Amino acid sequence: MTKSAKELAFLRDLYVDAEWTVRFMELTDKHFKFTDDRSLLYINAGTGNHVLEIGTKAGREAQIGAMCENEHLLKIAQDKAIATRSRVDFSDEEFDEDNFDAVLADGSFVSPAKFRDFVADASRYAEIGGTVAVFLVSAGSFGEVFSVLWEAMMDVESEDFSLAEKLVAELPTLSAIEEVFSEAGLERVKTHVATELFEFENGKAFIESPLVGDFLMPRWFEGLSKKEIERIRKRLARLIDDEEASITFRFTVKAVLAVGEKG
């Protein structure tokens, strides 16, 4: 059953941030430091956990703004900021362009087809010489899933049986990420990679997890009918259980943090 944006916001806060976003947070915190008195804009702040944590470590004069993906995530994040007396400004109004020393953007759920525009948009908010950092999923991710997905789509005789190949091909390589950054006017680009493992007890647990069922699959299956999606989901679960037998199902994600300087 399709969930509302409000329901997805609560699932994001309760399950997905702790299972998914935290992996990218850990990678980012290793290579992106913001502890002095500067200005930072966080794009796609979700329910606010990461930017609030950054705010607690920043200097007292630091100015931190945050943009959430929708009004429901924004409300959760604002409530957290009030409860913790945070100085982070979660605003539903547009921030000024060319105005921040640093911009940090969560692109982990951004469609690869929209990644170029996403980076260009993030770059708009940084001042000349400012830092722009984006974390995302790169090529080499979900290989275990896409392999089973290809078989599932063949089994159900899906008209778009090549979908798995398309999903593999569209994930950006490190060189493609660097090229996108360069096109957005960002220089001295560096990329940092971490391999993350996600594990599920069985096929049913995989397809019904909020991360997969409510956040990843909608993008993977975009354009397919609800009936076809349900057939593929059920076949995926069966194939996973048949292939994995008594062991858990695992897939890997290549998490990337790309950092550049606005020229």
So what's the pLDDT on residue 224?
86
pLDDT at 225: 87
CB 19 within 8 A of CB 230: no
Nearest alpha carbon to residue 80 among 95, 69, 90: 90
pLDDT at 16: 95
Position 244 scores a pLDDT of 58
- pLDDT tens for the chain, 263 residues long, are 678 999 999 999 999 999 999 999 999 999 998 877 689 999 999 999 999 999 998 888 899 999 999 999 999 999 999 999 999 999 888 899 999 999 999 999 999 999 999 999 999 999 999 999 999 999 999 999 999 998 888 887 766 668 888 999 999 999 999 999 999 999 999 999 999 999 999 999 999 999 999 999 999 998 888 888 999 999 999 999 887 566 889 999 999 999 999 99
Whole-angstrom Cα distance, residue 7 to residue 214? Answer: 10
CA distance 219 to 226: 13
Contact status, residue 90 vs residue 74, Cβ threshold 8 Å: yes
Report how far residue 138's alpha carbon sits from residue 56's, in angstroms, rounded to the nearest whole number: 30
88, 68 contact by CB (below 8 A)? no
